Amino acid sequence: DGNCVGTINKKTNAVDWLTYAQVLARVKHFGDGLIHMGLKCGQNTFIGIYATNCVEYVIAEYGAYSQSLVVIPLYDTLGPNACRYIINKVLTVKEIESLGQKNPIKDFGDEATNKNDTMLSFLPLAHMFERCCQSAVFMVGGKTAFFSGDIKNLADDMKIVRPTVLAAVPRVMSRIYDKCHTNIKGNKLKEWLLRKAIESKLSELQKRVIRRNGFWDKLVFKPIRNGMGGKVRLICVCPCTLTVPGDYRTGHVGPPLPCCSIRLESVPDMQYYTNDGRGEVWVKGPIVFNGYFKDPEKTAIVITPDGWLKTGDIGEWTENGTLRIIDRKKHIFKLSQGEYIAPEKIEGIYSKSSFIAQIFVYGESFKSCLVAVVVPEVTTLTVWCRKNNIRGTLRDLCQNKEVKRVVMNDLLGVGKKEGLLGFEQLRDIYLHYEAFTIDNGLLTPTLKTKRLEIRKYFDRQLEDMYRSLD
How would you label 261-290 residue by residue, b for 16+ Cβ within 10 Å and e otherwise? Answer: ebebbebeebebeeeeebbbbbbbbeebee
Query: Is position 152 within any domain?
Result: yes
Q: How far is CA 321 from CA 242, 278, 287, 318, in A?
A: 12, 13, 21, 5
- Classified as helix, coil or strand, 145 is strand
CB-CB contact of 347 with 285 (8 Å): no
Average pLDDT over residues 271-294: 92
Specify whether 14 is located in the same domain as 145: yes
Specify whether 414 is located in the same domain as 426: yes
Q: Where are the beta strands (DSSP E) in 98-254?
A: 118-121, 143-146, 165-167, 234-236
- Classified as helix, coil or strand, 468 is helix
Chain segment 402-450, per-residue pLDDT in tens: 999 999 999 999 999 999 999 999 999 999 999 998 888 898 877 888 9
Most confident by average pLDDT, 74-83, 235-244, 392-401, 441-450: 392-401
Specify whether 227 is located in the same domain as 143: no
Indicate whether 365 pLDDT > 90: no
Specify whether 122 is located in the same domain as 40: yes
Residue that terminates a domain, selected from 114, 138, 167: 167
Residue that terminates a domain, selected from 142, 167, 192: 167
Among 94-108, 196-210, 290-304, which stretch is predicted with the lowest mean pLDDT? 94-108
What range does the domain containing 298 cover? 261-328
Average pLDDT over residues 96-106: 85
- The per-residue pLDDT for 80 is 63
Helix (H) or strand (E) holding 344: helix 343-350
- The per-residue pLDDT for 114 is 46
Average pLDDT, the chain: 89
Chain segment 141-179, per-residue pLDDT in tens: 999 999 998 888 899 999 999 999 999 988 788 888 878
Average pLDDT over residues 336-361: 89
Average pLDDT over residues 96-109: 78
Q: How far is CA 28 from CA 99, 104, 395, 442, in A?
A: 11, 8, 52, 39
Specify whether 103 is located in the same domain as 162: yes
Binned at pLDDT 50, 70 and 90, residue 1 comes out as confident
Query: Is position 253 within any domain?
Result: no
Q: How far is CA 116 from CA 120, 141, 142, 170, 396, in A?
A: 13, 8, 6, 26, 49
Residue 314's nearest CA partner among 282, 351, 346, 284 is 282
φ/ψ region of 324 (left if φ > 0, alpha if ψ in -120 to 50, else beta) reads beta
β-strand pairing of 309-317 with 278-284 = antiparallel
Specify whether 9 is located in the same domain as 58: yes
C-alpha 215/C-alpha 196 separation (Å) is: 11
CB-CB contact of 341 with 424 (8 Å): yes
Work out the angle between the directed axes of helices 93-102 and 20-36 (0-180°, nearest 10). 80
- The per-residue pLDDT for 231 is 93
Indicate whether 78 pLDDT > 90: no
133 exposure class (CB count in 10 Å sphere: 0-12, 13-18, 19+)? buried
Specify whether 320 is located in the same domain as 343: no
CB-CB contact of 148 with 157 (8 Å): yes
| More confidently predicted of 378 and 181 | 378
Q: How many domains does the chain have?
A: 4
pTM over 0.95: no
φ/ψ region of 336 (left if φ > 0, alpha if ψ in -120 to 50, else beta) reads alpha
Residue that terminates a domain, selected from 313, 328, 343: 328
- The per-residue pLDDT for 111 is 46
- The per-residue pLDDT for 106 is 60
| More confidently predicted of 285 and 92 | 285
Query: Is position 195 within any domain?
Result: yes
Indicate whether 109 pLDDT > 60: no
Specify whether 363 is located in the same domain as 434: yes
Query: Is position 242 within any domain?
Result: no
Q: What is the CATH number of the domain that holds 72?
A: 3.40.50.12780
Q: Give me the percent of the chain exceeding a pLDDT of 70.
A: 95
- The per-residue pLDDT for 12 is 94
Amino acid at 215: F
- The per-residue pLDDT for 152 is 81
- The per-residue pLDDT for 112 is 46
Specify whether 121 is located in the same domain as 201: no
Helix (H) or strand (E) holding 349: helix 343-350
Specify whether 320 is located in the same domain as 340: no
Specify whether 121 is located in the same domain as 174: no
Indicate whether 260 pLDDT > 90: yes
